[in-house]
Amino acid sequence: MRCVVQRVSRASVRVNAEGIGQINKGILALVGIEHNDNDNDVSWLADKLLGLRIFEDEHGKMNLSLVDVGGDLLVVSQFTLHGDCRKGKRPSFSDAAPPDMAKSLFDKLVATLRASGVKVETGQFQAKMEVELINDGPVTLLLDSKKNF
């Protein structure tokens, strides 16, 4: 799983001009699921999102997690994170998981995150979405579960 993590003051997602998810202080996580991802990748990413220390403590140091600050999560599926642009001008998405598999793993990720007690909002799987955010910092990080094992 690949994930673009953005620390936000607020973020929202719309489908057909209708708001379907909105958070205040927290993390916007754009999640791409690869064809060989599994439950281990889900667990790793959930743990990372909940425990990543990217929020400032009383000394201005990034030392607090989403859980520590009582932040929210907006999780949006984004298969284009597995776009391969090494050849030609058009990305290849052959490494992205098929939709049924990706939705199943995405739903497991969301359920795992919600089980922690954190407020979790989502986009709509396979929909054309408009994502709006105020990046706080800015802080933007890349996570890849395959680079962990």
Tell me the pLDDT of the chain averaged across its residues: 96
Report the alpha-carbon distance of residue 126 to residue 147 in Å, rounded: 26
To the query of whether residue 80 is one of the catalytic residues in this protein, the response is yes
| Per-residue model confidence as pLDDT tens digits over 21-62 | 999 999 999 999 999 999 999 999 999 999 999 999 999 999
Average pLDDT score over residue span 59-68: 97
Does pLDDT of 148 surpass 80?
A: no
pLDDT tens-digit series, residues 77-87: 999 999 999 99
Catalytic residue among 6, 22, 55, 78: 78
Question: 106 catalytic, yes or no?
Answer: no
Q: Where are the domains of the chain?
A: 2-147
Q: Do 133 and 121 meet the contact criterion of CB atoms below 8 Å apart?
A: no
**Catalytic residue list contains 78:** yes
Residue 149 confidence class, pLDDT cut points 50, 70, 90: low
Interval 112-141 mean pLDDT: 97
Q: Which fold has domain 2-147?
A: D-tyrosyl-trna(Tyr) Deacylase; Chain: A; (3.50.80)
Given the residues 79, 106, 112, 122, select the one marked as catalytic. 79
Q: What is the pLDDT of residue 107?
A: 98
